[in-house]
Structure 1
């Protein structure tokens, strides 16, 4: 699970999420990291969804 936000449009505590397989996790981490969006990477089994977050987001969402 990659947790991220765009600081230009999201509040600091907001976390959007992408679920990535092992094959794509590194690429997506780099994509978000270069832009300063990546906040955390955790195994899906350990992810705790904050209240009111609205759930996981598709990469296009």
Structure 2
């Protein structure tokens, strides 16, 4: 996540918008099932970032930013 915890910004390169979505993903070729990474996204870039990861066949889940991560459940 770019920025600090008090003022995160969208993970899309060059975007400085406040995120409202979390995108949890992992690369199954190098990460165990319990290793989940999180990107954050503004509404404009949510689908772009999700599709970027899905095109690489990474498991992806999208939820509102306030939602708990899958790894924490």
- With normalisation by structure 2, the TM-score equals 0.61
Flag structure 2 segments of 5+ consecutive residues without an equivalent.
1-21
State the alpha-carbon separation in 1 of the partners of residues 28 and 38 from structure 2.
Answer: 14
2:24–2:61 Cα contact (<8 Å) kept: yes
Runs of 4+ more than 6 Å apart: none
State the alpha-carbon separation in 1 of the partners of residues 68 and 33 from structure 2.
Answer: 18
Q: Which has the larger radius of gyration?
A: 2
- With normalisation by structure 1, the TM-score equals 0.72
CA RMSD of superposed structures (Å) = 1.7
Mark the CA change 1:3 to 1:14 in structure 2 (over 3 Å): closer, same or farther. same
How many residue pairs end up in the alignment? Answer: 51
More strand by share: 2
Identify the structure with bigger relative contact order (alpha carbons < 8 Å, sequence gap 6+).
1
Tell me whether 1:46 sits opposite 2:67 in the alignment. Answer: yes
More helix by share: 1
